[in-house]
Amino acid sequence: MIQGPSVDWFAIAPEVALIVGAFVLLLAAAFARGHERALSLILGLGTLIVSVGFSVAAWGDAPVVTMADAFRVDDLTELVRITVAALAALVLLLSVGWNRLREQGSEFTALLLLTCAGMGVVAGSTSFVTLFVGLELFSLSLYVLVAFDGKSRASLEASFKYLVLGTLGSIVLVYGAAFLYGATGSFMYDGIAASLAEGGSGEAVVTLGTALVLVGLLFKVGVMPFHMWVPDVYEGAPTQITGFMAGATKLVAFVALARILLDALPAVEHLWSPVLIIVAIVTIIGGNIAALVQTNVKRMIAWSSVGAAGYALIGIIVHGDLGLRGLVFYLATYAFTAFGAFAVIALFERDQSRAKGYATLDGMRAWGFSRPFAGMAMVVFLLAFAGFPPTAGFIGKFVISGAAVTNDYVYLAVVGVIGSVIGLAYYLRVIVALYDRSRKSDVGLPATPGLGGASLAILLCLAVVLLGGILPSLGLDWAGQAASFLTVAK
């Protein structure tokens, strides 16, 4: 009889809850065909609340490593779990008026829950194997979610591109992991780190493995030159999923990147650090100048999220206490900022359902007057992207810049500044379009389905963004606490 590993059920309860929830939801939906939407919302939100509840309950506890050392639950994991689940809840809120929720709501919600579970697994991964399965769980779910917009062919196109490129990325990651395994004999981060620390960090195989792993992770993070999928997928996906990806995927991928680089590969920092520096510079500038020439707002923000990823890289490059805290704070608040922005776009698309729903600059003209709250919220989100006070984006950029300038990475901070300036130029184009008085706004918009849910979602994001900017102390403390687990191997 094989003795299974000890399992700390409380530690993995959030994921278990999500998976069980997804299962129950699908089963229940099979018996209650007519109530797809209500069922999805109630069970989906319920599951997420339970999951978040478990995470919150474990917040601040000492880190737990369970399932044969394959999974690590510390505050960073918890933070990711909470953020991701919160975003998923917002996705559900935003989808209230979506007709696909009526048709295949249970599948949608179940996939969403599974995505969250996969992200939790990634966040807590301690080995490439765990990382890979978690990554694939949420990636594969996301491929489907991206394709979920029944009407739009763009949705399928985006999904297919995402699938092909995403699989390519995963393959490269595994390939790299294989080489690292060959060089060190382990898939575990601590095993790799220990082996490299003893020597062998100069071997070409290690270099090769590091390079391939880096590519795989940078691909998921979506930085240049591995960003090609980002704009297309973000544009084609149902907008709430775009928001979810921009927020959650980025956060999770960065946490995975940080864990691998700092836990498994600290010995080869001389290899990955210059790569990240170059990539960060190229990404910040490239992402922003590409966004500058966009006319579709959804795509513009997709590009801007590429640039933002470059900015977050600075946090990893610096990776002091300040840098990592800034990274976590920046990413966590960025998640809500990005989701908020895409939520506003989603609302706009629903307002314009006849006109193919494209959120072009021209199409958005004067819309801010018809939906004053959403318009103003959009302004705040855009300013948060740009790092203006008093938004959370300001604090995040401030801390990361502070980390950079105090650690002899002034040039990175300056590049960030240049990127922000370019960024402002196009964010302002959106604002100008939203409040373009030269066009008559149609003040009496028809009642849009799900307006309440969408407004609530936007409001919640707005609250996070503003609170994170005006009273950031608490958030910074949380981020600091979570980030303190990033350098555990050192």
Partner 1 sequence: MTVGLPLFLAISAILFSIGLVGVLLRRSPLTILLSLEVMLNSVNLTLVAFSREVGGSDGQIFALIVMGIAAAEVVVGLGLVVAMTRREMVLDTDELRTLNG
Partner 2 sequence: MITVSWLIAVPAVAAVLLLLLPFGRQAAGYLALLVSLAVAGGVIGFIYRFEPLGGDQFGDNIAWIESLGVRWHVGVNGVSLAMISITALITACAIGYGMWAGRDRSHASFALILLTEAFLIMVFSARDLVVFYVGFEGMLIPLLVLLAAWGGAGRKAAVVQVIAYTALGTLLMLLAIAYLGFTAPGGPNFSMADAVGRGNDWVFAAFALALVIKSPLFPFHGWVLPAYRESSPEVAAVLSGVASKAGGFAFLAVLVPLFPAQAATYAWVFIALGTIGFLYGAFLAFRQSDGRSVIAYSSIAQMSFIILGVFLLDSRGATGATFQMVNHALVSAALFLLAGWLETQAGSGSFKHLGGLARSRPVLATVALILGMAALAVPGSSVFASEFLIMLGAFEHSWWLGSIVAIGIVFAAMYMLRWISAVLHEREGDLVGSLNPPDLRRGALLCLLPLVLCLIGLSIAPAQFTDRVDAAATALVSSAAKEAGR
Partner 3 sequence: MTQLVWITLALPLIGVVLLSILGMKLPAKGAGWLASLIMLAAFLCAAVATIMLASRPEGDRQVVEVAWVWLTAGDFSVGLDLWFDELTAVMLLVITGIGFLIHVYSIGYMKDDPQSRRFMAYLNLFVFSMLVLVVSANLVLLLVGWGLVGLSSYLLIGFWHNKPKAIKAAKKAFIMNAIGDVGLALGIFLLFVDLGTVTYSGIFAGASELSETQASIACLLLLVGAVAKSAQLPLHTWLPDAMEGPTPISALIHAATMVTAGVYLIARMNPLFVHAPLVLDLIVIIGVVGLLMSGLIAIVQTDIKRIIAFSTMSQIAYMFVGVGLMAYWTGIFHLFTHAFFKALLFLGAGLVIHALHGEQDIRNMGGLRKQLPKVYFCMMIGALALSGIFPFSGGFSKDAILASGLHVDSPIGWIAYIGGLLGALLTGIYTFRLMFMVFHRRPSPYAEKVIPASVAHHGEGPSSMLWPVYILAVGAAVTGFLQIPGVTHLAFSWLDPIAPDGMVEATVGQDWLTTLFGTLIGLIGIAIAYHLYARESDAPERIRLGRGRLFQHALERRLYWDDLYSWAFERPAMWASAFLSRDIDRTAFRWAPLDGLGQLTAFFGRSFTVIENGIVRMYALVLALGIGALILFLLVRGG
Footprint of partner 3 on this chain (CB under 8 A)?
Answer: 160-161, 164-165, 168-169, 172, 202, 204, 207-208, 210-212, 214-215, 219, 225-226, 228-229, 231-232, 268, 270-271, 274-275, 286, 289-293, 422, 425
- Which one, 104 or 207, has the nearer CB to partner 3? 207
Cα atoms in the 13 Å half-sphere on the side-chain side of 219: 22
| 355 binds partner 1 per the rule CB under 8 A | no
Enumerate residues 215-274 that contact partner 1 by CB under 8 A. Answer: 231-232, 235-236
Enumerate residues 102-131 that contact partner 1 by CB under 8 A. Answer: 128-129
| 414 binds partner 2 per the rule CB under 8 A | yes
- Which one, 309 or 399, has the nearer CB to partner 2? 399
| 488 binds partner 1 per the rule CB under 8 A | no
Centroid of chain to Cα 253: 7
Binds partner 1 by CB under 8 A, chosen from 20, 26, 133, 277: 133
Task: Using CB under 8 A, count the residues that bind partner 1.
Answer: 40
Tokens linked to 80: 């990711």
- For partner 1, which stretch binds (CB under 8 A), given 170-178, 324-332, 338-346, 360-368? 170-178
| 408 binds partner 2 per the rule CB under 8 A | no
| 419 binds partner 1 per the rule CB under 8 A | no
Other beta carbons within 10 Å of 355 = 10
- Which one, 123 or 322, has the nearer CB to partner 2? 322
The CA distances from residue 39 to 21, 49, 106, in Å, are 12, 15, 7
Pick the closest to residue 290 from 425, 380, 386, 163 (CA basis). Answer: 425
Residue tagged 């609250």 (tokens): 463
| 384 binds partner 2 per the rule CB under 8 A | no
- Provide, rounded to whole angstroms, the least separation between the CB of residue 290 and partner 1: 8
| 358 binds partner 1 per the rule CB under 8 A | no
Which listed option, partner 1, partner 2, partner 3, none, makes contact with residue 167 (CB within 5 to 8 Å by class)?
partner 1
| 154 binds partner 1 per the rule CB under 8 A | yes
> Please, which residues bridge with residue 296 across strands?
360
| 200 binds partner 1 per the rule CB under 8 A | no
Q: Quote the CA–CA distance of 385 and 394 in Å, as a whole number.
A: 8
| 383 binds partner 2 per the rule CB under 8 A | yes
Please, which residues have CB within 8 angstroms of residue 201's CB and are 6 or more apart in sequence? 267, 268
Pseudo-torsion of CA 438, 439, 442, 443, nearest 10°? -10
Enumerate residues 420-439 that contact partner 2 by CB under 8 A. Answer: 420-421, 424-425, 428-429, 431-432, 435-437
- For partner 2, which stretch binds (CB under 8 A), given 51-59, 133-141, 177-185, 475-483? 475-483
- Provide, rounded to whole angstroms, the least separation between the CB of residue 456 and partner 1: 30
Which listed option, partner 3, partner 1, partner 2, none, makes contact with residue 208 (CB within 5 to 8 Å by class)?
partner 3
- Provide, rounded to whole angstroms, the least separation between the CB of residue 203 and partner 3: 9
| 6 binds partner 2 per the rule CB under 8 A | no
Binding site for partner 1 (CB under 8 A): 128-129, 132-133, 136, 140, 143-144, 147, 153-154, 156-161, 163-164, 167-168, 171, 174-175, 177-179, 181-182, 185-187, 231-232, 235-236, 293-294, 296, 299
Binding site for partner 2 (CB under 8 A): 322, 369, 373, 376, 379, 383, 386-390, 394-395, 397-399, 401-403, 405-406, 410, 413-414, 416-418, 420-421, 424-425, 428-429, 431-432, 435-437, 472-473, 476-477, 480
